[in-house]
Chain A
């Protein structure tokens, strides 16, 4: 944690993820992570499992700050990880940023496996919020 450069792990160049699209980060023995890119180039990372029936969110259609699950059309907010009402459920979020054109995930979220969690202040946790 002392070495700043190691707090963030390079994943891929920004252009590896299409606008209004997503890519999957595969992890051995742990749930995949979906990386989303909005029209205005903001990047979000969620566990790649819809809270409904486990559908791969990375395969859904991205619109504004949301993704629609390909299996049963649940809509999840990319910033909060929450299902849009009236559906109820939350998917784990991961801190993600773009530095020098490279998408990076926060090492701490990957190591403890718990993601950024659902509690606490988003700004402190380094999670971006949609307007």
Chain B
């Protein structure tokens, strides 16, 4: 894995050449977003490894190139898009050689130096090429005239703005993303603009015919002329040597005082090629971003990785992370390519495109077109998974589709609602909001009270590019996650271009690169039986892990090795350690279990006694048909449990990633509509499953008839009794995002209900990711998979059922009773553990 690194370490005669120098020299060619992001990542993990020199041919620090369009349109000032000002380099001891005369003209790989236009030389031990791309200049007659520009950098923007002050008519050659943004920007500067495009539709690489036609109408409605299938033949000049018109094939002349060529970019490989580095379309790199010279890495638009070049920001940042990882000699990261999405940054035009936009063999299309309302949506599906989408006029769900696409989610079960968006699947009232229409004061994240303005401000002020960045800085979308789509939209609308991540499984946490499934599989295959063993085997980066991975690993081990694994209390959230729910003031709430929601006067009396004895501040009936006692001090908890245990109660696990409640209706015992004894069945289910630890909380319900008074169809596992038997429903959720259950099966006997429920729980326990509720799990793996394991394969169901029963023999130990049985508790002494505060005697 790190062969390349080792090879470099002792290469050649540099041992003597390096002499007494302490640090290796890293030279970066290209002062743009990819190069500087690599440096930022590198300095984060290895701040002292290199003496760093950066060459850039623009006279300023690094700026956010994807925001040039808003600068051109006058919506932003140039200083607002600076990412790294000159102080940034100075503060980090980085030598910055910036300006046209500092353009690197040669790399001498033999001597290992780079040479700038003014003769400045910089020797290197490691070289990073991040030269980006160049706009394509069409080889047209007249291209040397004044007034011919490209749209690539700050100088171009300044030149366009200057031209707009003097001249009136502009022609933009190229009707792609960049050309349209240039056209809109020039028009905003008061020019008459004509877009000349070679193809028969605008943005042909992102849009299909109908969407492109709608875009053309919208562009024309703004007063910009669009000429399609128009090939520019020559640029015509006036007596002063300035452009005066564009001549098209066929002879037509379009008057122009300014011509912007925006027909595309090509990776800037000139330097690399001259230095003899292998290039195809771009500089060829491997999955570690290494070129064919083991001392030279390359990142960004200039590279060709697995035959692809990228011009959007997110892929470049992923590459930067990988390159930094190898420059820092960590040498474990690899880049495997990116899936990209595009959003046009022309205000007033709402357009989103990702992945494939036309159906190839075996693919299908879902299309909605409403020309009157200016809405067009197309989703391309293949084998039940999204391959791409084009959205025009209503792009709210772009991020959602993109997410489903990246994660490879099976969308077969929702395809009838798919095109209408996430809101139609239920989304806590946040669906259907267009972020562009949102006022800055509108709340986006209801959990953390974060408004749209806060997020926009953080994105622009703190230069954020990813969802994780926004979560870290603003807390938006970091709690319940229901606003994630909105936050992603805001990112898209502020940044325009792509901000997403590679189509890889997410690592479990920042301590590792392995996703949940790999960790779970490895625990079983390697028979890892303690948290330190897992961390050592999978080379965890932090020796103790973190608050995200430790509880996950504790659960995975508990699930994998029932009866054998020793639960690690310090790796559990406080709620599971204290068998109560921590409240915002640091007190706890306690919920005794009420089987199937049934209780009696003796139990209620005991609860009342406890509430009075320990000065419970509030008593509340929960949604799960039991009673919650609020405001208990931690040091009183063991005594509270003892008193409740003596009255026959066990813990309700209302605090845990565990079986919570089984909600029931009164059923055939009392109800004139009841078909079965739903209450007794609910009690039996709860007796079977209580105490079981799960990836997340797990709720059940049993309704005695299809009127469904126990709301069984929004539970993780719901039973609806009918005259002929029992319907079993799974994967429901009444929380953040309401999801109605899927029908798993219909069975005839109560014994089958119990077996199916236990098998379903065990499959969920064994396959879901920690903190993944059944609803997203069912959506991720698909109902078909679950049916195959539980309904269609009786042997598999039986095996799951047996494994569940086996693990329950260890899990069904009431933590309250265990605690109450300790001598200290029995005798009412102060506990000697974390439940008691330590004394402080200042006397």
Contacts and interface: CB of A to CB of B under 8 A. Distances in A.
Nearest to A105: B840
B574 A70 contact: yes
Interface in A94-117: 105, 107, 110-111
Interface string A4-24: 000001111000101111111
B342 to A, nearest CB: 28
B574 A59 contact: yes
Given A16-B832, A26-B837, A86-B472, A63 B842 contact: no
B570 A23 contact: no
Interface string B807-843: 0000000000000000000000000101001111110
A55 to B, nearest CB: 7
Interface in A1-51: 9-12, 16, 18-27, 32-33, 35, 38-39
A35 B842 CA distance: 17
Nearest to A73: B547
A54 B550 CA distance: 24
A86 B473 contact: yes
Interface in B497-555: 542-547, 550-551
B546 A63 contact: yes
A52 to B, nearest CB: 9
Contact of A24 (B475, B837, B842): B837
A62 interface: yes
Interface in B446-497: 448, 462, 472-473, 475, 478-479
Nearest to B841: A9
Contacts of B479: 72
Interface in A39-88: 39, 53-56, 59-64, 68, 70-73, 75, 86
A68 to B, nearest CB: 3
A110 to B, nearest CB: 6
Contacts of B735: none
7 contacts: A11-B840, A25-B837, A55-B584, A56-B586, A61-B551, A73-B478, A86-B462
Contact of B834 (A9, A21, A64): A21
B44 to A, nearest CB: 11
B569 interface: yes
A18 B834 contact: yes
B654 to A, nearest CB: 16
A63 B574 contact: no
B567 to A, nearest CB: 13
Given A70-B574, A71-B584, A63 B834 contact: no
Given A16-B832, A18-B570, A62-B570, A11 B547 contact: no
Nearest to B570: A20
B28 to A, nearest CB: 24
Given A23-B837, A23-B838, A35-B838, A60 B472 contact: no
B561 interface: no
B840 A60 contact: no
Contact of A63 (B448, B473, B542): B542
A63 B548 CA distance: 10
Interface in B565-602: 569-571, 573-575, 578, 582, 584, 586
B77 to A, nearest CB: 25
Interface of A: 9-12, 16, 18-27, 32-33, 35, 38-39, 53-56, 59-64, 68, 70-73, 75, 86, 105, 107, 110-111
A63 B840 contact: no
B446 to A, nearest CB: 14
B547 A60 contact: yes
Contacts of A10: 841
Given A25-B840, A59-B574, 5 more contacts: A9-B841, A26-B838, A55-B584, A59-B634, A61-B570
Nearest to A69: B547
B828 to A, nearest CB: 20
B838 A21 contact: no
Contacts of A21: 569-570, 834
A9 B840 CA distance: 8
Contacts of B840: 9, 11, 25-27, 33, 105, 110
A27 B839 CA distance: 8
Given A53-B584, A60-B574, A24 B838 contact: yes
A33 to B, nearest CB: 8
B832 A39 contact: no
B573 A70 contact: yes
Q: Which of A20, A25, A35, A38 has the most CB of B within 10 A?
A: A20
Contacts of B542: 63-64
A38 B542 CA distance: 13
A58 B479 CA distance: 21
A105 B546 CA distance: 27
Given A20-B544, A39-B544, A86-B472, A61 B571 contact: yes
A47 B108 CA distance: 58
Interface in B657-677: none
A72 B551 CA distance: 16
A51 B748 CA distance: 57
A70 B582 contact: yes
Q: Which of B462, B574, B634 has the most CB of A within 10 A?
A: B574
A11 to B, nearest CB: 5
B47 to A, nearest CB: 14
A73 B547 CA distance: 8
Nearest to A84: B472
Contact of B573 (A11, A56, A61): A61
Nearest to A15: B832
B574 to A, nearest CB: 4
